Amino acid sequence: MPQVQERIPGRIEDPLSTLPPSLNPPARILMGPGPSDVAPSVLRAMAKPTLGHLDPRFLEVMDQIRDMLQVVFGTRNELTMPMSGTGSAGMETMIVNLVEPGDRVLVGVNGVFGTRMADVARRAGAEVVEVKTEWGKTFTPEAFREAAAGQPCKLLCVVHAETSTGAHQAIPPLKEVAEELGALLCLDCVTSLGGVPVELDAWGVDAAYSGTQKCLSCPPGLAPVSFSARAADFMAKRRHPVQSWYLDLGMIRNYWGGERAYHHTAPINMLYALHEALRLALEEGLEARFLRHRRLSEALVAGLRAMGLSIRVPDEERLPQLTPVAIPEGINDAQGRRFMLEQFGLEIGGGLGPMAGNTWRIGLMGAACSRRNVHLCLSAVGAALGAQGYSIAGDPLQAAADALNG
């Protein structure tokens, strides 16, 4: 007979009678700022048999992932790999491997993720100079020149695609500034990779990171990174150890390189998923993929404007895969998003920082970027606004169709 234990407050008395049921998450259409919808073949890839992290067949998968990532990043950088962790792990990887205490670092801050990059750099011991502009705007090269005040810097960091606002930063003009300052040019490509062109080699970028859960339409959990030979040389000459053991590329590169030296157990099945997501992107063709995002974004924006709504980022500075919409006066943000989720099974995002409560962020990323979803989103937004008494100005579906046929 099992012994009867005295009841301990907070302890489950009979775990067999209190187990939760098997997971059965509802089907949603993910059109927020991320994660995005995942293609069925990517989910199936995650269910394939788990191999050991040094299995010869798995090492072949790693090589194929690196080769495909190089194509998507537009680079021949040998030091290109996915880090174990979400996009923020990619950010920390870039910063902690390149920054030493006392280094002067320029960081463009025009949203949440520029702010976060500056915070990470400070924690790594950098002297951070923030280059600020209004949320939803992008930077001119002169803004960085003025902030640097003629003093050399170790890094010039900027967000290519600011997820919190939908601003799309032009990168080539910043390379000249980085060269003037003797700085490595470093990018956050979390929301841009796979949705708009990323050309690290052509732009002269030294380090970049991304995430899998945006335009690559892979579940969250990996952070692709890429470092130029120049950046790798900087790392080799460090005077201090990298502050993070887990993210130290000096060791991890030996696992992804020829030595295959163990560092930590790779997330095997997540890497299967990334392999399939990259394969789908390249099978579609990057140019075709970028065109799909751009054309369907134009249709979405045309439909939103037909409702009388305004977009918070100028067209010439706006990401096609993330549209920030001004919420009309008198409309409750959370109530509107909850209506869309409950009535349409559609998730969109709310605003952050100064855009909190007055902005909806609508994502058209990867597998979620389809004509069907544009129509669904316009219908859901119109219904949510109507439920709160807002009168739609025009025909959003016709405006979207006209944009696609124009």
CATH 3.40.640.10 fits 40-283, yes or no: yes
List the chain pLDDT tens, one digit each, 406 residues.
Answer: 445 455 556 665 666 678 888 999 999 999 999 999 999 999 999 999 999 999 999 999 999 999 999 999 999 999 999 999 999 999 999 999 999 999 999 999 999 999 999 999 999 999 999 999 999 999 999 999 999 999 999 999 999 999 999 999 999 999 999 999 999 999 999 999 999 999 999 999 999 999 999 999 999 999 999 999 999 999 999 999 999 999 999 999 999 988 899 999 999 999 999 999 999 999 999 999 999 999 999 999 999 999 999 999 999 999 999 999 999 999 999 999 999 999 999 999 999 999 999 999 999 999 999 999 999 999 999 999 999 999 998 999 999 999 999 8
| Pairwise CA distance, residues 299 & 371, whole Å | 9
Please list, residue by residue across 305-324, b when 16 or more beta carbons sit within 10 angstroms of its beta carbon and e when fewer do: bbbebebbbeeeebbbbbbb
Residue 90 tokens read as 């990619």
Q: Which pLDDT does position 1 carry in this prediction? A: 46
Task: Using the Cα atoms of residue 265, residue 269, residue 270 and residue 276 in order, give the sign of their dihedral.
Answer: positive
- CA atoms within 13 A of residue 306's CA, in its CB half-sphere: 20
Q: What is this structure's pTM?
A: 0.94
Domain boundaries, the chain: 40-283, 286-405
Supply the pLDDT for residue 258.
81
Give the number of C-alpha atoms closer than 13 A to the C-alpha of residue 225, restricted to the C-beta side. 31
Considering the four listed CATH numbers 3.90.1150.10, 3.40.47.10, 3.90.550.10, 3.30.1330.50, the one that applies to the domain covering 286-405 is: 3.90.1150.10
